[in-house]
Amino acid sequence: MTMRNDTHSFIAGIFAVLLSGCDSTEAPPADIDASCRDLLLRRCDAVEIPSDVVSACHDLFLRRITFAERCTGPVAAPSAADEQAFVDRCAGIATAPGVTLTSLDIKACADQMDTSPCLGGGVFPPCIGHSGDLLYPEHDKKGSFAPGEVCFADVQCDSGYCDHSVFENCGVCKRARANGESCGDAMDLCAFGGCTGGTCQPAGKPLGADCTTHGIECQPALYCKVDKCVPRDPAGAPCDGSTYCADGLSCLSGVCTKLAADGAACADDVTCASSWCNAGTCTSRPTGLTEGEDCSKGFCRADLLCDESQVCTAPMYLPEGAACTSANFPKVMCTPGLYCHEPCSPGMGCQEGVCRPPPQPGENCTPNADCGPGARCEGFDPTDLTKGVCMKLGGVGEACPCVFDLACVSGVCVAYGACQ
């Protein structure tokens, strides 16, 4: 998505305030675009990036690849250009204005790649994100920018929160408010839930509100009982199929009971938070199991299946041009890099598909409005598949709209944090 020209004009001035070291004014500057542009487009001759930061970013890139192979399966070898782009972005963000990260923080993230269990295909430990929030996107690392200052990453703000709700590339640092705290000021941001009646509240209906029996519309600490939102039951309370125990508890033998953590003694799977009692001890289930391993008590690598005999098995991959159907997925699927093209039409259903490469710029989108890497679908109409056309997305230095992870500044795609 690109910003309109009027948005560009508005967004152009906040960075001037940042660089001038303005006092504690909390109102965003009138022109955010110039500030955003200057924040993203730092001159290379004005940026000195410590060698230990560059080295740490390089190590993070390599261990990120190792993590992906361990948890997702074999990946295509990254090009030298891909590696350099990651290192430049990582180092640029780590040394951007307002950021207080050091090489030790980057190393700590790399260490997580070695120790973290697999979290699902394409999911990395929480210290790794995307775009401007590549490093520590979970608000656990704080910067030095005060509320009202322009930012492109959470790690630039002293609250750990850069609000991107209005602007695409840059945002404004906000004060993080917990549930129950006031949120009436423009610089307040509810870290969880939303601002209701001037107070931060969890998502969902509050205590005592009308609800649908056994519905899920109540706040997380509540449940719907006899058409009203009521508190979930505490440890020791009686429970049955019509009641809900509080988080961390389970209804065991008719009583809300705290589940045992890993390492605790156990006699049954249901007493463990991990749902696995292994030889009398609560234990996390293993992840990233490889082909041929027993998956009855663990999870296969993301590219494998746990078959009927409880063994991790690779799916059958079909070559380009082979007949395919989504009904056989995921046991039988097109080779990675291909997709099953199944033409469908209203009233006619779907025809047998064929494995083919994803459409490139200028070609019609898939029936699911998808395109190949570096392109997006424009003008899609499910009733007329000839209308949707894949449009090329810009790389670094090319016209917007941009590929994922790049920023659009004054109509040109740039890398977050990298000097120009």
The two three-digit tokens of residue 147, written as one number = 């509320």
- Reduce the DSSP state of residue 314 to 3 states and report it: coil
**What are the Cα distances from residue 61, in Å, to 54, 135, 160, 285?**
11, 12, 24, 27
**What are the Cα distances from residue 108, in Å, to 56, 118, 128, 210?**
9, 17, 11, 47
pLDDT at 345: 66
Tens digits of residue pLDDT in 272-327: 999 999 999 999 999 999 999 999 989 999 999 999 999 999 999 999 999 998 88
Phi and psi at residue 140, to the nearest 5°: -95, -5
The reported pTM is 0.81
Tens digits of residue pLDDT in 310-319: 999 999 999 9
Is-contact 239 251, C-beta < 8 A?
yes
Tens digits of residue pLDDT in 327-386: 888 899 999 889 999 876 666 667 789 999 999 999 999 988 999 999 999 999 988 888
Tell me the β-bridge partners of 11: 32
**What are the Cα distances from residue 230, in Å, to 210, 215, 235, 240?**
10, 12, 16, 15
Region 150-157 average pLDDT: 95
Is-contact 173 157, C-beta < 8 A?
yes
For 191, counting Cβ atoms within 10 Å of its Cβ (0-12 exposed, 13-18 middle, 19+ buried), the class is middle
For 57, counting Cβ atoms within 10 Å of its Cβ (0-12 exposed, 13-18 middle, 19+ buried), the class is buried
